[in-house]
A and B are shown apart, each in its own frame.
Chain A
Amino acid sequence: MAPGRDDESAFRREQADLDALFRTHHAEIVRFLAARLGSRQEAADLAGEVFVEAVRSVPRLRWRGRPVLAWLYRVAANMAADHMKRSGREFPVAIPPAAVADPPDTVGERDALARAMRALPADQALAVHLRLVEDYSFTEVGRLMGRSPAACQMLVLRAARALREHLRSEGIHA
């Protein structure tokens, strides 16, 4: 779907009101970073860095047919990649064990899934996050990623198969 005047108008509004931009998108950027880093606290810290960068750069962005949120995700993905390179370590599971004890099989699969999600290529991880966590439609995912909806569907399919293979390699059959 081609971007329209209302999209550009929304882009301009977000450029002009950075507090509103922060309030609107902070939560989903934190969730995205938590999935990439495996730590909610680190995600919250890094999300702050993303928005500091946004304060510097968003007012200068030029309208290229994509919302400001697309830029936020790109910066978040880059910062997450840098952070992972710098720390160079095995990341913890995304969410600490639940207060109510889970069956061992569930815990094992959940940890394996979290590891597998972090091992996904950035574009597949983003497509999965946008569709499965934030509930955007594939049309919206495509708009945010600058791809066609069909291409995004393929990314999600590849991600799902990669997750399945990862689980199998750990002896877990989904």
Chain B
Amino acid sequence: MPDPVVAEQLSRALAGETTGIPEADDLAELLRRAAASTRFEVTAAETESALAVISHRKRRRPRPPGWLAAAAGGVAFGLLLVLVLPATRAPGLNIEGRALAAVRRAGPITVLETRTVESAGGEPVLRTQWVVPDGRTRVRTVVHGAVVQDIVREPGGRVIEYAGGGRRVVVAPSCHAIAGTCSELVDPIAFYRDRLAAGGVTGVQPIVFGGRRAYRFSLPAQVLRPGTTRITQVVTVDAATYLPRRIVWDQTVHGRTTAAAVIDVLRVISLLAPPPQVFHISRPAQARIVQVDASGARLIGRPSVSVLPLGRARSLFPDAFWVGRRYHGLRLTGVHELRWPTGRALRLDYGPLTIWSFDRVIPPPLLEGRLLPAKTLDFRNLVARFYVAADGKLVAERDVPGGSVAAVAPGLEKLQMVDVITAARRLG
């Protein structure tokens, strides 16, 4: 048999198929045994430790890391939430205390818009971030009027990212699966509050900025090893409102300070509730959807599916949702657990009606439809979004702590679907 044929059969055998060609099957088994000894786990702690060791050997990067810009946005965000304070203050008084108190009084939903110019050059980056206390976040980055990146972190930590250049939408179990995404999603309030609470505001001085009285002060952001790199935020706040107008990220390496990024705060809005569509990303035309595993390098693959007795499902999925043993004459006929290495889902079948509860992985039958433009309905204090699944069935979905619950049914109207999704209650 020609070698290319054997090689192809060997590749099939490595994929788990039985080829019927003894040499291919035997060699596949031999290769698996040979590779087994190096299939060890390198923990995240080992990786972080190694990263810390080499950090001080790095050259200064040509542009600040993504988290730097995000964190700088955080400073702007936090300070912009400062309530209007007395118009005149002498510098050197407890500015950081007032700022910190103001951050702690921040409203629940906030929208921050910034414009960033990096010292390494490039176009100004316009960034809009929506933050909700339950962990949901959306960050949209625009350059030259075009969306270059759009990220949503959903309940449970799963992330959906659209990268304008890539023409694809990536769904991942967490931000760690997509390079640079965690830093983009930094909670600006938490970052700023932590730095402010840690103290260290220095160099308060009155200045005139853009024709208006202002104060400028420094706030330490990060110190790597002593004598290596120091990162400082230089914040300019309006003297009348104490709202920040500009944040400059200064990077000091071996005694030499350069401005790594200049962030102008354009707008901050405080809301009681997020606009219904804010945390929904629609797949742009021609963009494909991929759902990856925790490594970010591979697709999630097929789940392992198990049939569960109801009692077992209750203990394994206490936070899952159901609509009882019967719902309008439909009897619970099946309980299935779907498990991936990075997430799991519970599927409850009531004849034609299906209830899904899922956390970090979106069940494949829902994935495509979920990223189409969706209608959102705010009804009975419940926000549900509606879309059509791959098989044409209508889906109603709502966010719950730690995940999502979705009802799938053919032939039901939206209000009937709202009834289903409203009737859904915890299984445990």
Contact = CB atoms under 8 A, between A and B. Distances in A.
Contacts of A154: 3-4, 7
B22 to A, nearest CB: 12
Contacts of B57: 52, 55
Contacts of B10: 153, 156-157, 160
Contacts of A76: none
Contacts of B39: 31, 133
Contacts of B26: 174
A132 B180 contact: no
Given A10-B166, A59-B62, A94-B38, A26 B47 contact: yes
B225 interface: no
Interface in B10-49: 10-11, 14, 26-35, 37-42, 44, 46-48
A163 B37 CA distance: 14
Contacts of B180: 13, 16-17, 20
A27 interface: yes
Contacts of B33: 109-110, 113, 174
A159 interface: yes
A52 to B, nearest CB: 5
B54 interface: yes
A73 interface: no
A133 to B, nearest CB: 5
A150 B7 contact: yes
Contacts of A44: 46, 50
A12 interface: yes
Contact of B47 (A22, A56, A110): A22
B50 A157 contact: no
Nearest to A20: B179
A12 B179 CA distance: 11
A156 B163 CA distance: 35
Nearest to A164: B30
B398 interface: no
Contact of B54 (A14, A16, A17, A48): A48
Contacts of A31: 38-40, 42
B303 interface: no
Tell me the dominant secondary structure on chain A's binding face.
Answer: helix
Select the residue from A23, A153, A160, A164 with max chain B CB neighbours within 10 A: A160
A23 B61 contact: no
Interface string B98-122: 0000000000000000000000000
A114 to B, nearest CB: 6
A128 B54 CA distance: 29
Contacts of B364: none
B167 interface: yes
B125 to A, nearest CB: 12
Interface in A125-144: 128-129, 131-133, 135-136, 138
A172 to B, nearest CB: 11
Interface string A1-39: 000111011101110111111111011001110110000
Select the residue from B6, B65, B183, B297 with max chain A CB neighbours within 10 A: B297
A20 B296 CA distance: 12
B37 A94 contact: yes
A79 interface: no
Interface of B: 3-4, 6-8, 10-11, 14, 26-35, 37-42, 44, 46-48, 50-51, 53-54, 57-59, 61-63, 65-66, 163, 165-168, 176, 179-180, 183, 295-298
8 contacts: A14-B179, A51-B50, A93-B37, A110-B37, A116-B34, A136-B297, A153-B4, A153-B11
